[in-house]
Amino acid sequence: MATSPITKQDDQTGVSPNCDSRDGAQVIWFLLHTQEGDGDAQSLAHYLQNADSGVSYHYTVDNSGTVIDVVDTDKSAWAVLSGNPRSINLCFAGSRVAWTREEWFSNMQAGIDCAAWIAVQDARKYGIPIRTITPEQLGNDEAGIADHNAYTIGKHKGTHTDVGPNFPWDYLNSKLAEYNEL
């Protein structure tokens, strides 16, 4: 029986001004992002708490198993343009689109475990199916778990390609299934 992979979780919601009301929009997506920089969950959260950054995520996660709650999931974080009111967004701190599959495992396997755990919990809370979806499915407003790239392709908005072509979706799917059994 699996237990939470999170080793430390710190609720810092209410600090970042970079959020809005969902204005009644239904949450249908749980989206993954890369930082494209160095740092850990706390340093990324600190950046997101600065009004001048103009960006935010609901969660930052790192490979130590640390999770920082940055924006309350009942609010809209600033991560995916017009998709913000309909999505929950998690960013892997210190991650890069260009990582190979092996780099994802060596640099972020524990973070992926945490992301899967959080995705299952939030999917249950908001009625999101616990399944990954393609860009085409996202573009058709089907609910599920995807990444910023799926939003870019599916909605034809923006230029972001994260989490990148080598992200281990098969591993994430296995963890989603495992945690959904609990």
Q: Which domains does the chain have, with CATH numbers?
A: 27-180 (3.40.80.10)
At 42 the pLDDT is 98
Task: Give, for 137, the enclosing helix (H) or strand (E).
Answer: helix 135-139
Strand, coil or helix: 169: helix
Strand runs labelled E in 7-117? 8-11, 19-21, 29-34, 59-61, 66-69, 75-77, 87-92
CA nearest neighbour of 177 among 110, 140, 107, 123: 123
Query: SS3 of 93, please?
Result: coil
How many Å is the Cα radius of gyration of the chain?
Answer: 15
| Gap between the Cα atoms of 75 and 21, Å rounded | 5
Q: How far apart are CA 25 and CA 44, in angstroms?
A: 27
The whole-number pLDDT of residue 182 equals: 82
pLDDT score of 100? 98
d(CA 44, CA 59): 10
Tell me the mean pLDDT per 10 residues along the chain, length 182: 89 97 97 97 97 97 98 98 97 98 98 98 98 98 98 97 98 97 87
